[in-house]
């Protein structure tokens, strides 16, 4: 069944793209933290993307992706009115959300879009949400207005100081945790080094810390083992046991090593695709 692209917006031209996709069945079951696995062509690979938003009434889901390799480059060629070949979901365990107290949601780069859905879920559950977002510069920040519409505070960090704090999200997070002893949980979605750094910052404060792992996935239903990771010394499959885990228990070194295992093939695949297109 093809999935029509109803809206397409280049959030960062040529780099980060938002698509609103007609997917009524997925939208009706989607919860914050879920993801989809899609294929762009019948000979292409399956890639996981987080559901950045879902509208059950409109029957749509929103995906936001960074163009990093062959499949995301291929997806980026699709325009409004065209179809994605197949979209499977919602997959993964939804975020555990309950009325727990104030939550800090940290997002980095494209991870801000995924974090936005989780932050919205916490807000709807009655938790005060402080958003902490970061990017290399102000032009790469995403979802500032959307987060501002329900978060009483949106703290911004940019590497070059072009907007907000000059530096990293972890510096903002640390000072916020020093000031506010009531924080019940910190949720982090973004590049692996950022999530690892967030977990290091929160550890001495003893604050529950949830990270969303972006392991390589193939089937997304716990059968292939591609997304294997180690959490608290135990083997976990990010697609069915996660993708969210206790950030203090994740073996980030192993995750980074496994993420890079097909780098040569990925480079060749992208070069071939660029040569053909």
Ligand X SMILES: Cc1cc2nc3c(=O)[nH]c(=O)nc-3n(C[C@H](O)[C@H](O)[C@H](O)COP(=O)(O)OP(=O)(O)OC[C@H]3O[C@@H](n4cnc5c(N)ncnc54)[C@H](O)[C@@H]3O)c2cc1C
Is 210 a residue that touches ligand X (CB under 6 A)? no
Query: Which of the ranges 59-67, 149-157, 180-188, 196-204 carries the binding residues for ligand X, by CB under 6 A?
Result: 59-67
Residue from 97, 106, 130, 270 binding ligand X (CB under 6 A): 270
Is 230 a residue that touches ligand X (CB under 6 A)? no
Window 233 to 262, contacts with ligand X (CB under 6 A): 243, 259-260
The entry of ligand FES, ligand X, none near residue 220 (CB within 5 to 8 angstroms by kind) is ligand FES
The entry of ligand X, ligand FES, none near residue 126 (CB within 5 to 8 angstroms by kind) is none
Is 225 a residue that touches ligand FES (CB under 6 A)? yes
Q: What are the Cα distances from residue 45, in Å, to 4, 37, 219, 271?
A: 19, 10, 10, 16
Is 49 a residue that touches ligand X (CB under 6 A)? yes
Window 162 to 221, contacts with ligand FES (CB under 6 A): 217-220
**Complex with ligand X: residue 121 or 177, whichever CB lies closer:** 121
What span, in angstroms and rounded, lies between the C-alpha atoms of 196 and 209?
11
Is 203 a residue that touches ligand X (CB under 6 A)? no
What span, in angstroms and rounded, lies between the C-alpha atoms of 144 and 165?
15
What span, in angstroms and rounded, lies between the C-alpha atoms of 277 and 264?
20
Is 34 a residue that touches ligand X (CB under 6 A)? no
Is 107 a residue that touches ligand X (CB under 6 A)? no
Name 212's Cβ contacts closer than 8 Å, sequence gap at least 6.
Answer: 33, 50, 111, 114, 118, 187, 188, 189, 195, 242, 243, 244
What span, in angstroms and rounded, lies between the C-alpha atoms of 28 and 261?
36
* Secondary structure (DSSP) of 239-261: HHH-SEEETTTB-HHHHHHHHTT
Is 222 a residue that touches ligand FES (CB under 6 A)? yes
The entry of ligand FES, ligand X, none near residue 259 (CB within 5 to 8 angstroms by kind) is ligand X
The entry of ligand FES, ligand X, none near residue 35 (CB within 5 to 8 angstroms by kind) is ligand X
């Amino acid at each position: 069944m093809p999935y029509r692209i109803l809206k397409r917006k280049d959030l960062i031209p040529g780099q980060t793209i938002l698509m609103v996709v007609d997917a009524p069945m997925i939208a009706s079951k989607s919860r914050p933290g879920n993801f989809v696995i899609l294929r762009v062509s019948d000979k292409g690979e399956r890639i996981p993307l987080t559901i950045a938003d879902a509208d059950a009434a409109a029957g749509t889901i929103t995906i936001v992706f960074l163009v990093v390799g062959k499949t995301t480059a291929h997806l980026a060629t699709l325009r409004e009115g065209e179809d994605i070949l197949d979209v499977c979901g919602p997959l993964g365990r939804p975020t555990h959300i309950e009325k727990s107290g104030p939550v800090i949601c940290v997002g980095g780069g494209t991870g801000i879009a995924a974090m936005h859905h989780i932050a919205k879920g916490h807000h709807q559950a009655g938790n005060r949400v402080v958003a902490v977002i970061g990017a290399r510069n102000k032009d790469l920040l995403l979802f500032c207005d959307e987060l501002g519409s329900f978060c009483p505070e949106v703290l911004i960090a940019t590497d070059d100081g072009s907007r907000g704090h000059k530096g990293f999200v972890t510096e903002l997070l640390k000072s916020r945790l020093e000031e506010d002893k009531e924080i019940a949980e910190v949720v982090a979605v973004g590049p692996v080094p950022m999530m690892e750094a967030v977990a290091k910052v929160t550890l001495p404060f003893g604050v529950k810390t949830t990270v969303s792992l972006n392991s390589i996935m193939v089937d997304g239903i716990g059968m292939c083992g591609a997304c294997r990771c180690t959490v608290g010394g135990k083997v976990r499959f990010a697609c069915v046991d996660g993708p969210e885990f206790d950030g203090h228990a994740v073996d980030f070194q192993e995750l980074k090593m496994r993420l890079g295992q097909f780098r040569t093939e990925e480079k060749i695949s992208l070069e071939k695709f660029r040569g053909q297109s």
